[in-house]
Structure 1
Amino acid sequence: MSSVPATPAARAPLKPLDQALVELLARAASLPGVETVSTFDADGRVLAQDLVSSLDVPAHDNSSMDGYALRTADWAEGAVLPVGQRIPAGSSGHVLAPASAARIFTGAPIPPGADTVVMQEDCEAVDAGVRIKARPQLGQWIRRRGEDVAAGAVVLRRGERLTPASLGLAASIGFDKLQVAPRVRVALFSTGDELVMPGEVAPADMKPGAIYNSNRFFLRALLLRLGCTVTDLGIVPDRLDATISALKGAGEAHDLILTSGGVSVGEEDHIKPAVQALGELALWQIAMKPGKPFACGKVGGAHFIGLPGNPVSSFVTFLVLVRPFLLSLQGASEVAPASIALPAHFDWPKADKRREFLRARRNAAGGLELFGNQSSGVLTSAVWGDGVIDNPAGQAIARGDTVQFIPFSALMA
């Protein structure tokens, strides 16, 4: 009996990026517990409480200018109003006498009876009085009580990522300490016998095939920008036992293990069997370019994410997938970066089957220029560019087309 050769198993289709992101975020339950930190030290942290104001801001009607407070009805062209009081910021005046004015400074409470402020540039001091040179408008240059914040209002909501402005807002309603989500503890390592560290081997002494480990530097920096604590485990040799040992140790005291390299299907790619030996692995081939190889799973109690080894692939997959995952672990309410619709000032005639993230930058004409070499190994493109174009699969771009641009400022804040 003749035998029929076995038909090779069909390769699984690449997972659409949106589906991969949904599945990834479904794993990202918020870390338990909260930390109480000084408001001074809370920049970039995710708020773990609603902040409710117990006071109005400002607490009183006050002047937004240096000038004179008066009643609008007391003004007459050319008339001089006596100045009966002086009100600097931090003090309060008394009831304004009829047909008089009060010298007032920015931030000072409006004295009872006054209904307008005239800036000093529109006034002329005359002996003990003041001449108002132009008819004032009722209520001008007065900041009303509670116009910024009303007592009882929720000023900042749980899940907001704190910015310098929001720290100032928290302080303006009296919060010197804030409850925030705990920092994500991340173990970071790279795999690859070809990797060497800058400073350990001089460029002239590099062996054939050796490369400097650039991924370790930008991944660590990106993690720190997202408020993580990072344990840098260095470079792990291309051996299964070494990979298992590194993963096992990292899984014991971290919330996330993040690796770069070793997630493809080559003989020297040991991440897949190592993670499977210790826990659970979902190995994805994602329909995105750059960055097709991507893995996630669990090792012990820690989440695991494996990034591609090519530097631009690792950089882009971190921004597109790891960043929202880390924000979700911290309970952030907003994890997706905003994109901007801008015109393309270039042609990209060859549509790709995968969703592309093209490195580009804005020009003085208000459009986007494209970096000439979009290879996944050209890290220069991420330095030259100030963001990426999120280009759907199968879509060519002609000069003048409107495209969606995601600034690095939004992805790396």
Structure 2
Amino acid sequence: MRPPMKPLKPLDEALADLLGHAVPLAGADTVTTFDADGRVLAQECSSVLHVPPQDNSSMDGYAVRCADVTASGAELPVSQRIAAGSAGAPLQPGTAARIFTGAPVPEGADAVLMQEDCEALDGLEEGRVRINAVPRPGQWIRRAGEDITRGAVVLQAGTRLTPAELGLAASIGLHQLQVARRPRVALFSTGDELVMPGDVPPEQMRPGAIYNSNRFFLRAMLLRLGCEVTDFGIVPDRRDATIDALRQAGAAHDLILTSGGVSVGEEDHIKPAVQALGTLDLWQIAMKPGKPFAYGQIPREKGSAHFMGLPGNPVSSFLTFALLVRPFVLRLQGVQDVAPQSIAVRADFTWPKADKRREFLRVRHNAMGGLDLFNNQSSGVLTSAAWGDGVVDNPAGQTIEPGDTVQFIAFSELLS
């Protein structure tokens, strides 16, 4: 008699269990700010200066004292010319200073007029100027520290750096950054049915053989997360071969990621192989697609390597990676906020049959601002992921009618 099946594990519970094992990796790298895109800060960054460092003009125009321009048409002599990168003299009462965007506002000036509101008399920039508008105090002046004040923490440790953060770091003078070291990940697939593209042309494929698509998108997703990936290729469906691959991978990697072989069939050797070397939890997760998932640890000389086994069906593998492996890998690098953001969007489709599992339906936006559903939601139809721009996170037991509001998670959230 078969033992009773364990209840399906809720996705949120599985993720919480995983993140409980995701201790940030020891060690850090020093990289130039130029080369830090996508890396995770290992220590906070504080500013030792104001940004901007002094009051400066946000327009090309003329710096004046408001007291000298009480009516439109006032004429003032131009006493100096101040370009960005230079410092002017204090502004004498009754005069104007020709000033350019980014140039420091001279002492005594309390407003800047854009050049469109001014007229250089006799066509001379440093002769006299007619002011055709009445300025307000502070007009077109960017104040010192308006963006960043001296001593402020600009970037927190655990921040995943984007181009905007790189510019911010550069603006406070940081040419190098301390970042979390890259997770080292070993990747391999299992299955005698798998063939690599290029090894066998389509017309010579043996019966039952399929091309290994999972290996390509999993490697790409790992690289996007900043990992160093070692590709161990396709491991034969033999227990000894699987044990050898796991032992080699565990010796020099932080995480071993496999695709396929985590079910309970006679040719699924991942479970006994991992158990022969270390520990394994085999979960049946209440999500569709992507029910089978495995987490374990393989001891090595110092510490242990994490192990994660994904289902073999490509969409199942794709989504379990996005929803479980991605947050885990980010947490290894010190990122705290690892949850993808969902937004409320109108469904322009029908989903009449509720499922007992939480479903992730492949959809894409249409021209009317709603979501269309891919016509085949099978876990083996990778076309749905290429066609779509995200998924609907549909709760268990929930049907969908046109016009219903659903929760949409963009692939840009899941793949970044």
Q: Normalised by the shorter chain, which TM-score bucket?
A: over 0.9
Which residue does the alignment assign to 1:297? 296
| Cα deviations by residue, 1:161-214 (Å, 9 ceiling, x for unpaired) | 111100110111011111111100000000000100111100111111111100
SS in 2 for 1:281: strand
Identity %: 73
Q: What is aligned with 2:348?
A: 345
Residue 264 of structure 1 and its aligned partner are, at CA, apart by 0.6
Shift of 1:9: 2.2
The answer on 1:24 being equivalent to 2:18 is: yes
The match for 1:83 is: 78
Shift of 1:246: 0.4
Distance in 2 (CA, whole Å) between partners of 1:23 and 1:92 is 59
Deviates more, 1:117-126 or 1:282-291: 117-126
Q: Alpha-carbon deviations, 1:343-398, whole Å to 9, x = none?
A: 11111111111001111111222211111111111111111111111111111111
Q: Give the structure 1 partner of residue 8 of structure 2.
A: 14
Question: Alignment partner for residue 101 of structure 1, among 75, 96, 100?
Answer: 96
In the TM superposition, what whole-angstrom CA distance separates every residue of 1:68-109 from its partner, at most 9, and x where no partner exists? 111112113222111110000000111111111111001000
Matches within 5 A, 1:10-409: 10-75=4-69, 76-127=71-122, 128-300=127-299, 301-409=304-412
- Residue pair 2:46, 2:153 contacting (<8 A) in 1 also: yes
Amino acid at match of 1:264: S
Query: Aligned letter for 2:384?
Result: S
* SS of the residue 1:178 aligns to: strand
Q: Which runs of 5+ in 2 are unaligned?
A: none
Q: In structure 2, what is the Cα distance between the partners aligned to 1:260 and 1:176?
A: 40
Q: What secondary structure is seen at the aligned counterpart in 2 of 1:332?
A: coil
Q: Separation in 2 of the partners of 1:9 and 1:283?
A: 15
Computed over aligned residues only, the root mean square deviation of the Cα atoms, in angstroms, reads: 0.9
**SS in structure 2 of the partner of residue 55 of structure 1:** coil
Structure 2 SS opposite 1:232: strand
Corresponding residue SS for 1:252 = helix
CA displacement 1:289-332 (0-9 Å, x = unmatched)? 01001001011221000000000000000000000000111111
Match of 1:3? none
Q: After alignment, is 32-41 or 227-236 more displaced?
A: 32-41
Give distance in 1, aligned partners of 2:369 and 2:92.
57
**Which is worse superposed, 223-232 or 75-84?**
75-84
Name the CA distance, whole Å, in 1 between partners of 2:143 and 2:367: 41
Question: Which has the larger displacement, 363-372 or 58-67?
Answer: 363-372
Q: 2-side partners of 1:213 and 1:123: how far apart?
A: 68
> 2-side partners of 1:156 and 1:66: how far apart?
32
Distance 1:35 1:273 in 2: 37
Q: Which deviates more from structure 2 when the two are superposed, residues 231-240 or residues 395-404?
A: 395-404
Q: Partners of 2:72 and 2:167 in 1: how far apart? A: 43
For residues 118 and 376 of structure 2, the distance between their equivalents in structure 1, rounded to whole angstroms, comes to: 63
1:8 Cα offset (Å): 3.7
1:23-77 deviations in whole A, cap 9, x for unaligned?
0110111111111111111111111101010000000000011111111121132
Counterpart residue type for residue 248 of structure 2: G
Give the aligned residue type for 1:14.
Answer: L
Contact 1:35 1:180 (C-alpha < 8 Å) held by counterparts: yes
Q: Which moved further from structure 2: 126-135 or 162-171?
A: 126-135
Q: Verify the 8 A CA contact 2:74 2:132 in the aligned structure 1.
A: no
Alpha-carbon distance in 2 for matches of 1:197, 1:249: 22
How far does the alpha carbon of each residue in 1:103-134 deviate from its partner, in whole angstroms, 9 at most, with x for none? Answer: 10010000011111111111111131111212
